[in-house]
Amino acid sequence: MAVSTELPEAGSPQEQEQGTEAPPGPGLRYNSPLVQVSLIGLVCFCCPGMFNALSGLGGGGQFDHTTADNANTALYACFAIFGVLGGAAHNLLGPRLTLLLGSLTYPLYAASFLYYNHRKSQTFPIIAGALLGAGAGLLWAAQGAIMTSYPPPNRRGSYISLFWCLFNLGGVLGGLLPFSFNYARTDAGSVNDATYGAFIGFMLLGAALTFLVLPPARIVRDDGTRATRVTYSSVSTEGWEILKLFTNWRMLLILPAAWASNFFYTYQFNNVNGLLFTLRTKGLNNVFYWGAQMIGSAGIGYFLDFGFASRRKRGLMGVAAVALLGTAIWAGGLANQLRYLDGEFPDKIDFKEGRRYAGPFLLYFSYGLMDAIFQSLIYWIIGALANDSQILSRYSPYRLSIYDQFN
């Protein structure tokens, strides 16, 4: 029997599983998908966004990258496990508690490097990294379920772009923190205590914002449709559904994209930004790296929602555009890497050096642009595979768990 690979069109019966009620009045509503997706964006602005800015400094802001590398090994080993289990946790606990438990591990991770600034012991950062791996699996499971199931089917790309812009605004602001706090420390190898303190403060704010997240059953779209039907699951059901993911042919086709999703972060942060530039320039570069992500996500989101009448055609054109752009940017990355094959670059580049700075800066900016375009496209594809938050809460962590095994 032939199996159709067509994605269901917006407004089709597959997309109208939820019940409807009288359309709510105009204006912003606390229980609208727009407000709730924006709220998740602010949580990720404060927690993963600041974490990205901290990681983007290379070595967690330390001169010696060994501690951060070991902490990240523990982080991604746990993330690979909890990336799969996070969807089950979301379906058992609900989004609010899942987000809270996940977000609290971010300030602990930043605090471990503040501790390392004074004690030079790797134990705390490695333990904090492992806990963050578990917490990140929970947070991203809840985020993925909300971002892919709450928006109206014909506006998923725009909502994904909105989230991605808010999330990466955290990286932009987070890049300004080390740049400003360490501007005069031109010869310093590690960021100061004030930088870590600022990161911790923002991350704690993000954890507090999770209390404002509403249960999925209370979310109503502007046309009166319920965003999702939720009946909290059981442990046995979730265990079985997780195992079934590894036999789902759609999920297996996403494996190559999942593998390619984020494995390059360590290279870009440590071997490009962390190795080539002075301390203050690393922070400035991160402002533009995460700013490029905002531009990229906005562009691909608009294209995927409004580019063509057919959603299938939009998806295929998006894949082709990402393939061409990615090939060009990584070709530039190869040319840059050939300048320091031994992994040593003693003559650090400062942002005031003009032409010498321009080329590596443009490459690093392009890396950020490409990351957002690619990630947004994958989220859009996953969102098109189903319209139920329980199913999507398993799909998104599945993708995360695969790429974390290669980090």
pLDDT in tens, 174-231: 888 877 776 766 665 567 788 889 999 999 999 999 999 988 888 888 777 777 655 5
User: What mean pLDDT is predicted for residues 90-101?
Assistant: 90
Highest mean pLDDT among 188-197, 206-215, 275-284, 312-321 belongs to: 206-215
- Count Cβ atoms within 10 A of the Cβ of residue 370 and give its class: 0-12 exposed, 13-18 middle, 19 or more buried: buried
Sequence-distant (6+) residues with CB within 8 A of 227 are 18, 33, 149, 150, 216, 219, 220, 221, 389
User: What mean pLDDT is predicted for residues 234-262?
Assistant: 70
Taking the C-alpha atoms of residue 127 and residue 304, their distance in angstroms, rounded to an integer, is: 41
Sequence-distant (6+) residues with CB within 8 A of 46 are 103, 170, 202, 203, 205, 206, 207, 209
Answer whether residue 13 shows pLDDT above 90.
no
In this structure, of 42-56, 99-113, 146-160, 177-191, the range with the lowest mean pLDDT score is 177-191
Q: Which one has a higher pLDDT value, 251 or 44? A: 44
- According to the model, what pLDDT value does residue 103 have? 96
Catalogue the long-range contacts made by 188-195 (C-beta closer than 8 Å, 24 or more residues apart). 188/279, 189/62, 189/63, 189/64, 189/279, 190/61, 190/62, 190/63, 190/117, 190/279, 191/57, 191/61, 191/62, 191/279, 192/117, 193/114, 193/117, 195/61
Quickly count: other Cβ atoms within 10 Å of residue 215's Cβ. 12
- Smallest CA-to-CA distance from 225 within 19, 34, 15 is with 19
pLDDT band, residue 60 (cuts 50/70/90)? low
- Sequence-ordered alpha helix ranges (H) in 47-103: 48-56, 66-93, 95-103
DSSP per position, 282-349? HHHHHHHHHHHHHHHHHHHHHHHHHS-S-HHHHHHHHHHHHHHHHHHHHHHHHHHHTT-TTS---S-B
- Smallest CA-to-CA distance from 213 within 164, 136, 143, 135 is with 143
* DSSP-assigned beta bridge partners for residue 277: 349
**404 and 87 in contact (C-beta within 8 Å)?**
no
- According to the model, what pLDDT value does residue 332 have? 95
In this structure, of 58-72, 336-350, 387-401, the range with the lowest mean pLDDT score is 387-401
| Token output for 122 | 């790797």
Sequence-distant (6+) residues with CB within 8 A of 314 are 303, 304, 305, 307, 308
State CA 372 to chain mean position distance. 9
Taking the C-alpha atoms of residue 264 and residue 403, their distance in angstroms, rounded to an integer, is: 10
pLDDT band, residue 52 (cuts 50/70/90)? confident
Question: Domain locations in the chain?
Answer: 33-406
| Token output for 315 | 């998806």
- Smallest CA-to-CA distance from 81 within 13, 133, 125 is with 133
Taking the C-alpha atoms of residue 151 and residue 220, their distance in angstroms, rounded to an integer, is: 10
pLDDT band, residue 286 (cuts 50/70/90)? confident
| Domain 33-406: homologous superfamily in CATH | MFS general substrate transporter like domains (1.20.1250.20)
pLDDT band, residue 388 (cuts 50/70/90)? low
User: Residue 197 carries which side chain, given as an amino acid letter?
Assistant: G
Taking the C-alpha atoms of residue 178 and residue 52, their distance in angstroms, rounded to an integer, is: 13
pLDDT band, residue 160 (cuts 50/70/90)? confident
Q: Which one has a higher pLDDT value, 165 or 9? A: 165
Taking the C-alpha atoms of residue 6 and residue 366, their distance in angstroms, rounded to an integer, is: 32
pLDDT band, residue 104 (cuts 50/70/90)? very high
Answer whether residue 407 shows pLDDT above 50.
no
Q: Which one has a higher pLDDT value, 17 or 129? A: 129
| Token output for 113 | 């490097």
Residue length, the chain? 407
pLDDT band, residue 38 (cuts 50/70/90)? very high
**138 and 102 in contact (C-beta within 8 Å)?**
yes
User: Residue 374 carries which side chain, given as an amino acid letter?
Assistant: F
Answer whether residue 396 shows pLDDT above 60.
no
- According to the model, what pLDDT value does residue 74 have? 92
Answer whether residue 297 shows pLDDT above 70.
yes
Taking the C-alpha atoms of residue 43 and residue 157, their distance in angstroms, rounded to an integer, is: 20
The percentage of residues in the chain with a pLDDT greater than 90, rounded to a whole number, is: 28
Which single residue is written with the structure tokens 């602005």?
45
- Smallest CA-to-CA distance from 380 within 157, 62, 61, 70 is with 157
